[in-house]
């Protein structure tokens, strides 16, 4: 230890180490141009003039007007938006916007209504229109979360007995009844049945058990969460058919017992305005029972209509075609005859045909249902802006929320963007645009804001570094904007890059040119909260941004020159260094050029203290 104590590199890190371009414990290994980095404003205030002005002195070239509360967004006066626009122009700062946290699908804890989705659409459209005030000649990026309140299916990546490696397992999910808008939960579980054969085929796991080992009631049949959804739809469909069969059996009993007594005069009874005049006392009783059978037939008609509507509304295109053919052939019979026996026969044909169809997907995983609704909202919001502002319309950028919230993963965002663009194109074509032109505009104005800290939170569900990097690769073609924050994968903390375990270097490499050129917002709320300083300088170090246009030296190399906390031994300026280590002039008496005053002199006759 003593031999190494006097090495300059141990005392003054800047002496040698910072000549290494990879220097610094914070450096992530990926270099980011300083001009692409930005800071958000304080999301707790509507005073955006002061908030933007407070970020400019840090040197950030991008400032995000962060108004995640709809109330705060609407508290910003129109004049303040114009003033911030002038401020940005004077200082050469680019502006972006983080819009309010609005649930784009319109789903609430009470369920779904189309009116709720339309309200969300109007709120988001207003935010986009107001954001245009900040940059009326460009395409300002406006970020919205893909979901604000909906939980994602509870998916873990785990290795269970019998698995060769980790697999994604859905433990639970929410399911929505598309007819009523009501929501319920389902989960993966094992069920125990005394007669399991008709149930086991609904799950691949159950089928394997039955084929290989037979059925052990103590082990039961494993049901995945997805299989539970199918079981709910199957049960409801069986109940719908059973209800119709119930009325049909009662109608047929009355018809079979009484129709033969009236068969000869039935044509006259059906055409007569006063059929009672044609009846004898014996036949009158039979006719009354036929009327009761007709009431059952009316119930059958109502229930068949409801069942047919459900099958058609939620059926596949092939099923819809088959249902239409059935309605054309059998439906005409019920409309053209009043004969109860003929009606009953027609209804039986319809019951038989409907029983052959798979259960319609009335109950649907909430994630799938909400994705369609959210994409519709995003597509319409983007088109509304394009319709008003043309090629200068703001970009609607859809951000992945923290893992655990709906649509937090790469594949989810990819699907939402594609569906939103389809909605945009459909509306544009209806307004007279060519499909090619509409598609080009949709690709320009709808994309992804990728939050690297949010996706890293998949770690708490058993996902690994390689999985997180793959998630990022999926959204590369849709990337418009990046949010930077570091964490350790469990809590939604926000630190500057290089302070957690977000695989930033690997993520950025997967994002390629699109990632390098995108504006990057440094979201470090926990750093601001606890350490009361700007994360911008620290981020420059972590991402090795060039100090000069010649690309070298880099900010991560500047650490040794100014000795920050993360550079090693604190300040090592000569005064502190010499006083600490007893060398140099600082420890000598003043007459020899030192700094020791009073009583200590080489000529006073007593030793120096």
Q: Looking at the structure, tell me whether residues 397 and 409 fall in a common domain.
A: yes
Q: Which two tokens stand for residue 301?
A: 């008609």
- Local confidence band at 572 (pLDDT 50, 70, 90 cut-offs): very low
Q: Looking at the structure, tell me whether residues 95 and 181 fall in a common domain.
A: no
pLDDT given at position 471: 96
State yes or no: pLDDT of 569 exceeds 60: no
Q: Which of 198, 230, 262 is the last residue of a domain?
A: 230
- Local confidence band at 182 (pLDDT 50, 70, 90 cut-offs): very high
Q: Shortest CA distance to 91 belongs to which of 65, 58, 56, 63? A: 56
pLDDT given at position 200: 47
Is residue 144 classed as helix, strand or coil in its secondary structure? strand
Q: Which of 505, 529, 553 is the last residue of a domain?
A: 529
Q: Could you tell me if residue 105 is inside a domain?
A: yes
Nearest-angstrom CA–CA distance, 130 and 150? 26
- Local confidence band at 339 (pLDDT 50, 70, 90 cut-offs): confident
Question: 553: cis peptide before it, omega within 30°?
Answer: yes
10 contacts 16 by C-beta, under 8 angstroms: no
Domain of residue 599: give its range.
573-609
- Local confidence band at 189 (pLDDT 50, 70, 90 cut-offs): confident
Residues 6 or more apart from 413 whose CB is under 8 A from it? 146, 398, 400, 407, 448, 450, 474, 475, 478
Q: Could you tell me if residue 562 is inside a domain?
A: yes
Q: Which residue has the higher pLDDT, 577 or 370?
A: 370
For 358, which DSSP code? P
Q: Looking at the structure, tell me whether residues 380 and 472 fall in a common domain.
A: yes
Backbone angles phi, psi at 298, to 5 degrees: -65, -40
- Local confidence band at 203 (pLDDT 50, 70, 90 cut-offs): low
Q: Which two tokens stand for residue 105?
A: 């699908």
pLDDT given at position 593: 60
Which of 57-66, 203-212, 343-352 shows the lowest mean pLDDT across its residues? 203-212
**Is the torsion defined by CA of 540, 544, 545, 551 positive or negative?**
positive
Q: Could you tell me if residue 538 is inside a domain?
A: no
For 331, which DSSP code? I
Q: Looking at the structure, tell me whether residues 102 and 180 fall in a common domain.
A: no
Which of 17-26, 249-258, 274-283 shows the lowest mean pLDDT across its residues? 17-26
- Local confidence band at 109 (pLDDT 50, 70, 90 cut-offs): confident
Q: Helices in 158-224 by DSSP H: which ranges? A: 197-200, 204-212
- Local confidence band at 571 (pLDDT 50, 70, 90 cut-offs): very low
State yes or no: pLDDT of 584 exceeds 80: no
State yes or no: pLDDT of 533 exceeds 70: yes
State yes or no: pLDDT of 214 exceeds 70: no
- Local confidence band at 598 (pLDDT 50, 70, 90 cut-offs): low
Residue 400 is part of a domain; what is its CATH number?
A: 3.20.20.150
Q: Looking at the structure, tell me whether residues 579 and 485 fall in a common domain.
A: no
Question: 37: cis peptide before it, omega within 30°?
Answer: no
Q: What is the overall mean pLDDT for the chain?
A: 86
- In angstroms, the first-to-last Cα distance of the chain is 29
Q: Looking at the structure, tell me whether residues 251 and 277 fall in a common domain.
A: yes
Tokens 């140099």 sit on residue: 584
Nearest-angstrom CA–CA distance, 384 and 483? 26
State yes or no: pLDDT of 127 exceeds 70: yes
State yes or no: pLDDT of 590 exceeds 80: no
Which of 290-299, 320-329, 555-564 shows the lowest mean pLDDT across its residues? 555-564
State yes or no: pLDDT of 14 exceeds 70: no
Q: Could you tell me if residue 534 is inside a domain?
A: no
pLDDT given at position 16: 52
Count of domains in the chain? 5
- Local confidence band at 231 (pLDDT 50, 70, 90 cut-offs): confident
- Local confidence band at 32 (pLDDT 50, 70, 90 cut-offs): very high
Q: Looking at the structure, tell me whether residues 372 and 352 fall in a common domain.
A: no
Nearest-angstrom CA–CA distance, 115 and 106? 8
Q: Which two tokens stand for residue 584?
A: 């140099």
Which of 168-172, 553-557, 587-591 shows the lowest mean pLDDT across its residues? 587-591
State yes or no: pLDDT of 576 exceeds 80: no
The percentage of residues in the chain with a pLDDT greater than 70, rounded to a whole number, is 83
- Local confidence band at 53 (pLDDT 50, 70, 90 cut-offs): very high
Which of 246-255, 420-429, 547-556 shows the lowest mean pLDDT across its residues? 547-556
State yes or no: pLDDT of 394 exceeds 70: yes
Which of 139-153, 271-285, 301-315, 379-393 shows the lowest mean pLDDT across its residues? 271-285
State yes or no: pLDDT of 594 exceeds 70: no
- Local confidence band at 207 (pLDDT 50, 70, 90 cut-offs): low
Q: How many CA atoms lie within 13 A of 343 on its CB side?
A: 23
Q: Looking at the structure, tell me whether residues 471 and 483 fall in a common domain.
A: yes
pLDDT in tens, 397-453: 999 999 999 999 999 999 999 999 999 999 999 999 999 999 999 999 999 999 999
Q: Looking at the structure, tell me whether residues 597 and 523 fall in a common domain.
A: no
Q: Looking at the structure, tell me whether residues 329 and 412 fall in a common domain.
A: no
- Local confidence band at 134 (pLDDT 50, 70, 90 cut-offs): very high
Q: Looking at the structure, tell me whether residues 257 and 393 fall in a common domain.
A: no
pLDDT in tens, 216-230: 666 677 778 888 898
- Local confidence band at 568 (pLDDT 50, 70, 90 cut-offs): very low
Q: Which of 502, 529, 556 is the last residue of a domain?
A: 529
Residues 6 or more apart from 355 whose CB is under 8 A from it? 241
Q: Which two tokens stand for residue 366?
A: 């909430």
Q: Looking at the structure, tell me whether residues 202 and 310 fall in a common domain.
A: no
pLDDT given at position 48: 96
Residues 6 or more apart from 253 whose CB is under 8 A from it? none
pLDDT given at position 405: 96
pLDDT in tens, 466-494: 999 999 999 999 999 999 999 999 999 99
Kindly tell me the burial class for residue 605, based on how many C-beta atoms sit within 10 Å of its own C-beta (0-12, 13-18, 19 or more).
exposed
pLDDT in tens, 73-97: 999 999 999 999 999 999 999 999 9
Which of 48-52, 302-306, 396-400, 482-486 shows the lowest mean pLDDT across its residues? 302-306
Q: Which two tokens stand for residue 50?
A: 């002061």
pLDDT given at position 283: 86
């Amino acid at each position: 230890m003593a031999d190494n104590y006097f090495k300059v590199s141990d005392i003054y890190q800047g002496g040698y180490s910072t000549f290494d371009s990879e220097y610094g414990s914070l450096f992530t290994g990926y270099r980011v141009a300083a001009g692409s980095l930005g800071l958000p404003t304080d999301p707790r205030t509507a005073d955006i003039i002061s908030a933007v002005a407070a970020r400019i002195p840090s040197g950030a070239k991008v400032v995000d007007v962060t108004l995640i509360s709809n109330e705060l967004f609407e508290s910003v006066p129109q004049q303040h938006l114009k003033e911030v626009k002038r401020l940005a122009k004077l200082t050469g700062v680019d502006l972006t916007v983080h819009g309010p946290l609005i649930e784009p699908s319109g789903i609430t804890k009470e369920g779904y209504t189309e009116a709720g989705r339309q309200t969300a659409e109007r709120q988001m459209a207003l935010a986009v229109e107001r954001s245009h005030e900040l940059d009326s000649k460009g395409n300002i990026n406006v970020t919205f979360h893909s979901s604000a309140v909906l939980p994602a299916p509870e998916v873990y990546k785990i290795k269970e007995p019998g698995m060769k490696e980790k697999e994604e397992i859905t433990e639970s999910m929410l399911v929505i009844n598309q007819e009523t808008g009501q929501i319920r939960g389902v989960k993966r579980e094992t069920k125990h049945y005394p007669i399991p054969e008709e149930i086991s085929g609904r799950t691949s796991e159950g089928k394997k058990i039955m084929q290989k080992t037979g059925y052990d009631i103590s082990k039961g049949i494993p049901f995945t969460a997805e299989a539970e959804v199918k079981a709910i739809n199957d049960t409801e469909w069986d109940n719908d058919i059973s209800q119709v069969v119930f009325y049909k059996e009662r109608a047929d009993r009355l018809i079979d017992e009484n129709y033969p007594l009236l068969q000869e005069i039935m044509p006259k009874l059906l055409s007569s305005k006063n059929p009672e005049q044609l009846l004898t006392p014996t036949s009158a009783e039979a006719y009354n029972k036929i009327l009761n059978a007709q009431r059952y037939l009316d119930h059958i008609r109502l229930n068949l209509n409801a069942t047919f509507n459900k099958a058609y509304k939620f059926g596949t295109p092939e099923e819809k075609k088959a249902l239409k053919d059935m309605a054309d052939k059998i439906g005409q019979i019920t409309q053209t005859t009043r004969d109860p026996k003929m009606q009953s026969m027609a209804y039986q044909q319809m019951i038989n045909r409907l029983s052959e169809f798979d259960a319609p997907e009335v109950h649907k995983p909430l994630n799938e249902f909400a994705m369609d609704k959210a994409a519709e909202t995003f597509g319409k919001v983007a088109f509304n802006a394009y319709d008003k502002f043309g090629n200068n319309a703001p970009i609607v950028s859809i951000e992945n929320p923290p893992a655990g919230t709906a649509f937090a993963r790469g594949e989810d965002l990819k699907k939402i963007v594609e569906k939103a663009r389809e909605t945009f194109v459909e509306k544009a074509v209806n307004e007279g645009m060519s499909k090619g032109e509409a598609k080009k505009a949709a690709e320009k104005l709808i994309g992804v804001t990728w939050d690297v800290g949010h996706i890293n939170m998949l770690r708490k569900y058993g996902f690994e570094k390689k999985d997180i990097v793959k998630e990022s690769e999926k959204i590369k073609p849709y990337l418009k904007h990046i949010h930077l924050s570091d964490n350790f994968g469990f809590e939604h903390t926000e630190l500057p890059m290089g302070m957690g375990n977000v695989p930033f270097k690997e993520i950025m490499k997967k994002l390629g040119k699109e990632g390098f050129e995108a504006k990057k917002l440094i979201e470090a709320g926990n750093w601001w909260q606890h350490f009361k300083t700007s994360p911008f300088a620290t981020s420059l170090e972590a991402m090795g941004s060039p100090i000069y246009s010649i690309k070298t030296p880099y900010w991560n190399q500047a650490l040794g020159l100014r000795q920050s906390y993360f550079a090693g031994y604190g300040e090592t300026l000569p005064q502190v260094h010499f006083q600490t280590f007893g060398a140099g002039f600082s420890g000598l008496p003043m007459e020899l050029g030192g700094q020791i005053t009073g009583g200590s002199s080489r000529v006073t006759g007593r030793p120096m203290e």
